[in-house]
Structures are given as C-alpha cells and as structure tokens.
C-alpha cells in the first residue's frame, strides 16, 4: 500500500517551505549571520543543552544503555546526538514508515531508535563497512526485541543502494538517514531519492560540519562536498527542505 502523505493544510506546508528557503538564502547571501557553530555542535556540557535533554528526551532504557556504552568508545563522538535520533524516530512514526534506509550505522543507536517505532514487519536496511562497531549494538538490538527489524549490510553503501534499485525497490522506502563518508553525500542523496516514495523523507546529518561549511577549505573534501550538497538542496525542485540546528545540523528533504 502506498504511504499516506502527511496531512497538513497547504498554507502551512508552503509557509514552512518558504521559511526554510528564506533562512537558507539569507545565510548564503551573507545577510544573516549564524551564531557561532559551537552553539549547535559543541554544547555537550552546556546548561542549555542539558535543559533540552531534561525537558524533551524520552529514551528507552536499552537506548540509554547503548548510548552510554558508545560514549566509552574512542570514536564515541561519531554517534548521532540522542535528541536528534529521537526526532528521526518521531518522524518515522509520524509518516507510518515501514521501510527505512540508514547509511552509516556505527554502533547502531539511531538504527535501534527507529526500529523501536517501526511495526513488527518493518525493516531498517542498515549500511556500514565496519562490522566491529555494529557488534557493540547488536546484542542490545536483540535485548530490545527488534533485531529482526534491522538488516545490517556490511559493504560500501553505494553497492547496497544499487542492489536495492536493481531489485526493483525504487520508490518503496519511506525514510532514509544519511550519515556516512561525506565525500559521497551527493551520490547517497541521489540514490535515496530514487528509493524513497513521494511524501517520504531523507534526513542528511552533519550539514554544518562543525561550521566548516561557512568557508570550506580547498583541501577539505568533506566540507566542500557537504557545502555543495547544501547549495544544491536549496534549489532542488524535487523536494521541500528544512535545515535544522540540531546536533551538527540536519537537513530534512521531503520528496514531492
């Protein structure tokens, strides 16, 4: 069955899209200055971020267990922020998603968050190239009773996406989350756009890249790649967008 579109008044949808465009255009044109990127990306110990967590985070006990376990890892900072993961799960639930793609799994905190809200026959196609990280989260997926919903594929994500397209799964997914190697962001986006249904959502993480997108260095391929995709998304008539100052910045692209 085709996924129902989000039911909102046309004026609200148009107004939201126009606000997002106006904000992004103002930033790109230099007419509005963003606050310091540290406000968004380096606030783990700030009183304001703690207030956000204290007054909005509703974390499943096993999610918390995995978050704390991941925080002990030398690369723990790669984990998506818990408030952002909660937003992704809420969006997945809002659109009644059944099929989800995640590009970049790490220990699987975000995959677990989404799997918890999917129906029992729902599925997260989880793409990564490092099985060692995922081994940290897999026992907790099982403990939460959702391991059967997470299909972990250890190979380059582009290969997995191409296989899904070749298998005739274009326009059958409801939601995609992109958070892997930044140099391939544009290709991930394009392939996900083919895989996502109309009315589906693509969430793109790290769109601020710790503020480096403001003046990308020529030798910083990651910042260059993200900046180019940010500019492309602003003008992409195939989607409506909202760029949000959550975590290290996340853009939501709603397929038209």
- Domain of 209, CATH number, reads 3.40.50.150
189 domain-assigned: yes
pLDDT of residue 44: 63
174 contacts 99 by C-beta, under 8 angstroms: yes
Q: How many CB atoms lie within 10 A of CB 54?
A: 9
pLDDT of residue 43: 55
222 domain-assigned: yes
Burial 133-166 (b: 16+ CB within 10 A, else e): bbebbbebbeebebbebbebbeeebbebbeebee
102 domain-assigned: yes
236 domain-assigned: yes
pLDDT of residue 76: 82
Q: Which residues of the chain have pLDDT under 50?
A: 1-42
- Domain boundaries, position 183: 47-255
72 domain-assigned: yes
Q: Tens digits of per-residue pLDDT, 159-204? A: 999 999 999 999 999 999 999 999 999 999 999 999 999 999 999 9
* CA gap 247, 137 in Å, rounded: 21
* CA gap 198, 5 in Å, rounded: 8
Give the three-state DSSP class for 107: coil
Task: Please give the helix or strand (H or E) that residue 173 lies within, else none.
Answer: strand 173-178
* CA gap 199, 194 in Å, rounded: 12
pLDDT of residue 111: 98
pLDDT of residue 49: 87
Number of domain units in the chain: 1
């Amino acid at each position: 069955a085709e996924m129902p579109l989000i039911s909102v008044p046309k004026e609200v949808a148009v107004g939201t899209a126009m606000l997002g465009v106006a904000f992004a255009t103002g930033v790109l044109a230099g007419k509005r200055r963003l606050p310091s990127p540290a406000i968004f990306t380096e606030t783990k110990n700030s009183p304001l971020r703690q207030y956000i967590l204290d007054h909005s985070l509703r974390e499943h006990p096993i999610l918390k267990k995995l978050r704390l376990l991941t925080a002990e890892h030398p690369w723990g900072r790669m984990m998506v922020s818990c408030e952002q993961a909660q937003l992704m799960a809420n969006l997945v639930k809002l659109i009644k998603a059944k099929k989800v793609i995640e590009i970049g799994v790490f220990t699987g905190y975000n995959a677990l968050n989404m799997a918890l809200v999917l129906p029992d026959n729902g599925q997260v196609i989880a793409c990564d190239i490092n099985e060692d990280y995922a081994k940290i989260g897999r026992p907790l997926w099982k403990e939460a009773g959702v391991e059967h919903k997470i299909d972990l594929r250890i190979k380059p994500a582009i290969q997995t996406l191409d296989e899904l397209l070749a298998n005739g799964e274009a326009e059958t997914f409801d939601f995609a989350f992109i958070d892997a190697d930044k140099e391939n962001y544009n290709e991930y986006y394009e392939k996900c756009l083919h895989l996502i249904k109309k009315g589906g959502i693509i969430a793109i993480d790290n769109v601020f890249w710790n503020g480096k997108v403001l003046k990308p260095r020529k030798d910083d391929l990651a910042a260059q790649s993200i900046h180019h995709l940010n500019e492309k998304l602003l003008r992409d008539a195939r989607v409506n967008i909202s760029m949000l100052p959550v975590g290290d910045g996340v853009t939501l692209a709603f397929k038209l």
